């Protein structure tokens, strides 16, 4: 029987990599989100690093002094996820955080060093788990900013674009699942639920409060208690919608 597939050895004899443009680097960026009160209102916050002005060799660091998303180059023996976990540990001291990939950013000119392609990830973490964060590697500082405040900073590279894309993704997850249960007490009021959702979604993503409350009794994963508070039932991990 004649093999109907082309052997890779035969094909590679006629392949010339120099005919194609190849990237100058591959990076992994990580947006770590949590919910923190700001003026007594729950707000989605993102962890950023301030890039050191000098690199490990004592030379000027690209975009040094600017706030940025934690991340770095993917090593030859890594994939982007593995590199993201490693970079998060190296730059912030944080570990054991599951990452979710959400986008690839590859526009030419996004990085002054050349055509650098980035695989972006995001993750959620309880506020108390971020208490031990500390700056290291090429990060001078590590701080939490509300997403609104972060978008008003002069962020490095195209990190404002990446943050905006992540915010849209987080909004969808918050409204199409019960993820917000991780950031609420066991028993909560209608107002607490509404404000938590409003604080971590894009502006005007929610209907008015009066309309929002009409849906709550219809949701199978919410149970109303005698004290007019709610709690998430055993179905809280199921994907659901709030309205």
Is 70 exceeded by the pLDDT of residue 240? no
The pLDDT of residue 67: 96
Residue 179: which of 108, 111, 242 has the closest Cα? Answer: 242
Please state, in angstroms and rounded to a whole number, the distance separating the CA atoms of residues 1 and 18: 36
Q: SS3 sequence, 37-72?
A: EECCEEEEEEEEEEECCECCCCCECCCCCCEECCEE
**By C-alpha distance, which of 149, 182, 155, 169 is closest to 71?**
155
How crowded is the C-beta side of 143, counted as CA atoms within 13 Å? 13
Q: At 10, is the secondary structure helix, strand, or coil?
A: helix
pLDDT for 157:
96
Element (DSSP H or E) covering residue 162? helix 159-176
Mean pLDDT confidence for 97-122: 95
What is the per-residue DSSP string for 185-224?
-SSB-HHHHHHHHHHTS-TT-SPPHHHHHHHHTT-TTEEE
Q: What is the pLDDT of residues 106-117, one digit of tens each?
A: 999 999 999 999
| Residue 104 CB burial class (10 angstroms; 0-12, 13-18, ≥19) | exposed
Question: What distance in Å separates the CA atoms of residue 38 and residue 147, rounded to the nearest whole number?
Answer: 11
By residue count, the chain amounts to 243
- Beta-carbon count within 10 A of 217 CB: 9
Domain positions in the chain: 19-174, 177-232
Tens digits of per-residue pLDDT, 49-72? Answer: 999 887 777 888 888 899 999 999
With a CB cutoff of 8 Å and minimum separation 6, the contacts of 45 are 33, 34, 35, 36, 144, 145, 146, 147
CATH of domain 19-174: 3.90.79.10
Banded model confidence at residue 80, pLDDT cuts 50, 70, 90? very high
Q: 199: phi > 0 → left, psi -120 to 50 → alpha, else beta; which?
A: alpha
Pick the more confident residue, 34 or 217: 34
3-state secondary structure of 231: strand
Mean pLDDT of the chain, nearest integer: 89
Residue 52 is predicted with a pLDDT of 85
172-200 average pLDDT score:
92
**pLDDT of amino acid 3:** 67
d(CA 14, CA 8): 10
d(CA 111, CA 117): 9
């Amino acid at each position: 029987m004649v093999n109907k597939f082309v052997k890779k050895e035969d094909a590679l004899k006629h392949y010339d990599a120099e005919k194609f443009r190849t990237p100058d680097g591959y990076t992994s960026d990580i947006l770590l989100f949590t919910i923190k009160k700001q003026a007594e209102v729950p707000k989605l916050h993102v962890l950023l690093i301030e890039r050191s002005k000098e690199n490990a060799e004592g030379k000027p660091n690209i975009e040094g002094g600017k706030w940025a998303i934690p991340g770095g180059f993917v090593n030859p023996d890594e994939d982007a996820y593995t590199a993201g976990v490693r970079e998060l540990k190296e730059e912030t001291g944080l570990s054991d955080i599951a990452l979710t990939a959400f986008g690839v950013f590859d526009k030419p000119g996004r990085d002054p060093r050349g055509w650098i392609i980035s695989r972006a990830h995001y993750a959620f973490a309880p506020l108390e788990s971020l208490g031990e964060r500390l700056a290291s590697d090429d990060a001078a500082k590590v701080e939490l900013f509300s997403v609104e405040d972060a978008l008003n900073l002069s962020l490095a590279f195209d990190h404002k674009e990446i943050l905006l894309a992540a915010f849209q993704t987080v909004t969808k997850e918050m409204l199409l699942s019960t993820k917000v249960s991780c950031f609420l007490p066991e028993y909560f009021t209608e107002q607490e639920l509404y404000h938590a959702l409003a604080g971590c979604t894009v502006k005007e993503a929610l209907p008015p409060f009066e309309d929002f409350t009409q849906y709550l009794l219809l949701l199978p994963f919410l149970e109303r208690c005698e004290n007019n508070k709610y709690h998430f039932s055993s179905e809280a991990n199921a994907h659901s919608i709030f309205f």
